[in-house]
């Protein structure tokens, strides 16, 4: 199998890359946080994707014996290795698709976008 195709099989399902983005770049690790932050995802699909990602060893699910029960998700080392790919995708978009991404349509560095978001 082609290595690129194999990677796409892992991260190419709808919403998977956005879940990784929100966990990796924005520190989201709870179901409701992800449900609110991943654009257009519903709870059934999010639940399915999280189970698939756990099966593919991209995330670990931690259940805390509290009342009410608290569940958090953690990126595995395997998933963390995808960060440069996500950042390169962001860099490509901020440089070459700025008219689709920004109101002012001006290209910028992806790092600038992340820095601006971290201030909120």
CATH of the domain at 68: 1.10.10.10
Strand (E) positions, the chain? 59-64, 70-75
- pLDDT of amino acid 120: 47
- pLDDT of amino acid 117: 66
Same domain, 95 and 53: no
Same domain, 88 and 53: no
User: What's the predicted TM-score (pTM) here?
Assistant: 0.87
Structure tokens at 4: 């690129």
Between CA 9 and CA 41 the distance in angstroms is: 19
Q: Closest by alpha carbon to 37, among 15, 59, 54, 57? A: 15
Structure tokens at 49: 């994707």
Contact 17, 11 (CB under 8 A): yes
Range of the domain at 104: 82-120
Give me the number of domains the chain comprises.
Answer: 2
Asked if residue 119 has pLDDT above 80, the reply is no
Output DSSP code: residue 104. T
Asked if residue 17 has pLDDT above 90, the reply is yes
């Amino acid at each position: 199998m082609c290595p690129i195709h194999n990677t796409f099989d892992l991260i190419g399902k709808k919403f998977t890359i956005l879940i990784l983005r929100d966990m990796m770049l924005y520190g989201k690790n709870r179901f409701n946080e992800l449900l609110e932050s991943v654009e257009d995802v519903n709870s059934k699909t999010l639940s399915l994707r999280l189970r698939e990602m756990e099966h593919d060893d991209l995330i670990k699910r931690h259940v805390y014996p509290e009342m009410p029960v608290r569940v958090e998700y953690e990126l595995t080392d395997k998933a963390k290795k995808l960060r440069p790919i996500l950042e390169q995708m962001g860099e490509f978009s901020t440089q070459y698709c700025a008219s689709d991404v920004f109101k002012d349509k001006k290209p910028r560095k992806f790092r600038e976008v992340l820095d601006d978001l971290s201030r909120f």
